[in-house]
Chains A and B, each alone.
Chain A
Amino acid sequence: MTTLTAPAPAPASPITPVHERTLRNRVSFRQGAADSISMARRGLVKIRRTPEQLIDVTLQPIIFTLMFTYIFGGAIAGSVADYLPIIIPGILVQTVITTSAVTGTQLREDMDKGVFDRFRSLPIARIAPLAGALLADTVRYLIATTLTIVMGLIMGWRPGGGVGGVVLAGLLVVVCAWSLSWIFAFLGVIARSASSVQGMSFLILFPLTFLSNAFVSVDTMPTWLQGFVNVNPVSHLVTAVRDLASTGSVTGQVGLALLLCAAVVAIFAPLAVRSYMKKA
């Protein structure tokens, strides 16, 4: 197209002058929620575009469930069948929480891209890019949760809580993983690089998931360790999931797990958002 011969396209409609615009200096909660959902939709499209990012949430549940059950089943519970009601809720929690750590790494990678500069220049809720990313990642938790439960069922797990109990247990795990992902989002925001987020995340994840009742009964541990295991939120979550799956009853442990999750969000969401805005 030469500028000499081709007529210039008709000018776009005139812009609204500044004094005729209604300007606000605050984001309403409604707009914040709408922005977060728009950002979550972006996250979902990204997952669809790069399905290789789902390898961890598809392979890990299958491999870990098989491995842990057949390796430890005989030693810990006498038989694989007896171990299943203990290990499936445990491995479910462990797998999904491990998955939530990836959120931090991906957030870091994402933030290094130019598009985050544009997000910061838009009149949107500051929390939206973060909240949206975290919201979209619940899809990953759902996949990991479903696959672990299906693996358990294939291996002969017959939870007494029925479909309702198992679905509730799965939802509880997803909610808790989302809550814990704020810790990793915070790390993702403050870290210098994606690989350092990964390193730090594993330093947190290993004690949190292994120093719990996920794989063995607390009674078998030394007293000093029991102290930590009993306050570890992961232990309460595992117990809550076992109660829901095997009896279908919503025990106090469920409430406690939700309360601890709320506390994690209350602490880490403001921290993450504040550091995120400082970097802006």
Chain B
Amino acid sequence: MTTPAIEAHGLVKVFGGNRAVDGVDLTVEPGTVYGVLGPNGAGKTTTISMLATLLRPDGGDAAIFGHDVVREPFVVRQLIGVTGQYASVDETLSATENLMLFCRLNGLHGAAATRRTHDLLEEFSLTDAAARPLKKFSGGMRRRLDLAASLIAQPPLLFLDEPTTGLDPRTRAQMWDTIRRLVATGSTVLLTTQYLDEADQLADRIAVIDHGRVVAEGTADDLKSSVGQQSLQLTLVRPDDIPRALDAALDVLGIAATPSPEARRLTVPVADPARVTDLLVRLRESGVDVDGLSMDKPTLDEVFLTLTGHGAGDDTPDAAPVPELAEVSA
């Protein structure tokens, strides 16, 4: 039996009257990528901070490779690397100076520190910019430097807090490659993300977290199949018809459909595609005009919508109307 890389039970963190993390359980097996998926403010960063000994839990317990985060914080710190949501490197220092500093703090001195710094700059394609002040670095370069600094001690467990938020697609793909390579060396990675495709692409298991609680946990496939094998996407002519269409879906298929952000669309999980005809007939009988329809394999986005009743990226503009619609349908 192997010791889990992370084992957390009932983690709680309260800020004032706000339970930012409200009883989170996590088990992460060594050598895997674990994705923590949730919107802004769901409690992802707070959870990582407690696991990484940056914040003291107000309740529950957590162990990293069997070492308790409260009783043995110093041991835990020897086993983890943390890359924050905002690049946590020293802005007044150059890339080389940053890496040299973190080498020294990790017990590497002289030639060993110089060699490690050189190798990391090379590996993360930062050699050309090594001496430049960090103020002139792009977002992607900062993230790379940040990650490089976390890898100096070659920690067996890495926390990546939204490693690709704000990066352009190309840089994101590079970051994904880097993460995959890390796992190939035997590292365990816990990453938080607001991007469903990122969790889908990288994570072996995913925990969906919302309002400080884990609302679902499993592999990407587990989560997808929990909302049905396929789904029907319906676009209505009039947004006003949404409540009636929801009623019809409930009546015919016995399932609660999810209104989608654009306000005219419905996502209906469908176990048996043959029943779709019944639903369409019912809609015509009730005078609900359909503008378009398609059958789709479920995406994690739908998983998220189904589980939490709101979209994953709260900062994406088209997610905003969802809470109102949820009220209408309630």
Which A residues have a C-beta under 8 Å from some C-beta of B? 1, 3, 8-9, 11-18, 21, 23-27, 31, 34-35, 38-39, 41-42, 45-46, 49-50, 113-115, 117-124, 128, 280
Contacts and interface: CB of A to CB of B under 8 A. Distances in A.
B92 A50 contact: yes
Interface of B: 3, 30, 52-54, 65, 67, 72, 74-75, 77-82, 84, 86-93, 97, 101-102, 104-107, 123, 133, 149-151, 153-156, 173-174, 177, 181-182, 184-187
B50 to A, nearest CB: 12
Contacts of A17: 156, 186
Contact of B101 (A18, A25, A34, A38): A38
Contact of A115 (B67, B89, B174): B89
A111 to B, nearest CB: 12
28 contacts: A1-B174, A3-B173, A12-B182, A14-B185, A16-B154, A18-B3, A23-B67, A23-B79, A24-B74, A25-B74, A25-B75, A26-B74, A38-B101, A38-B104, A41-B101, A42-B97, A45-B93, A49-B93, A114-B84, A114-B88, A114-B89, A115-B90, A115-B91, A117-B54, A118-B88, A118-B102, A120-B53, A280-B54
A11 B184 contact: yes
B105 A21 contact: no
Given A115-B88, A118-B149, A45 B97 contact: yes
A15 B155 contact: yes
Nearest to A128: B105
B93 A42 contact: yes
B154 to A, nearest CB: 5
A27 B75 CA distance: 10
Contacts of A41: 101, 104
A33 to B, nearest CB: 12
Residue of B77, B86, B88, B106 with highest tally of chain A CB at under 10 A: B88
A133 B255 CA distance: 62
A39 B102 CA distance: 10
Nearest to B122: A9
B77 A123 contact: yes
A21 B78 contact: yes
Nearest to A1: B174
